[in-house]
């Protein structure tokens, strides 16, 4: 199975969906990217949603359920970084709190270069993608 817009680079995958989508469809696409990266035995996945539109910033409850789904999908085998526009990043980074509670190594930022730097720092610090 191919996932349109998914680019594997070494042990890392990049997913960059674009266009007008609902928040529910985007959530499904992001989860599919994590599932696809795991099936490819990748250690890291960067999901860059900055080129998507058509949805409001999701509620804290929606974020909670979504990140729990990602944690279950990643199963402790990979690190996940979301790159999003500022207006889609919760000011208290609720998703990262849920990720930590669920054992998912995750980060969110506004720039793909920051995402890569975070992944490289995690790898250099010896933080395994799996517990």
Domain boundaries, given as residue ranges, for the chain: 6-124
Contact between 12 and 44 under an 8 Å Cβ cutoff? The reply is yes
Number of helices followed by number of strands (H, E) in the chain: 4, 7
Tens-digit pLDDT profile for the chain (131 aa)? 678 889 999 999 999 999 999 999 999 999 999 999 999 999 999 999 999 999 988 899 999 999 999 999 999 999 999 999 999 999 989 999 999 999 999 999 999 999 999 999 998 887 555 44
Full-model pTM: 0.91
Distance between CA atoms of residues 111 and 70, nearest Å: 21
Integer angstrom CA distances of residue 118 from 32, 52, 61: 22, 23, 26
| 6-124 maps to CATH 3.30.750 | yes
Contact between 79 and 109 under an 8 Å Cβ cutoff? The reply is no
Query: Within 10 Å of residue 90's Cβ, how many Cβ atoms?
Result: 16
């Amino acid at each position: 199975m191919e996932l349109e817009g998914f680019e594997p680079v070494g042990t890392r995958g990049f997913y960059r969906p674009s266009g007008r989508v609902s928040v529910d469809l985007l959530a499904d696409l992001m989860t599919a990217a994590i599932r696809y990266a795991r099936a490819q035995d990748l250690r890291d996945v960067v999901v860059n949603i900055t080129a998507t539109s058509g949805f409001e910033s999701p509620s804290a409850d929606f974020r909670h359920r979504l990140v729990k789904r990602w944690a279950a999908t990643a199963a402790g085998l990979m690190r996940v970084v979301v790159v999003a526009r500022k207006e889609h990043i919760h000011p208290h980074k609720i998703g990262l709190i849920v990720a930590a509670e669920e054992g998912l190594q995750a980060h969110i930022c506004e720039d793909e270069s920051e995402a890569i730097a975070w992944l490289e720092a995690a790898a250099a610090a010896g933080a395994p993608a799996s517990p």
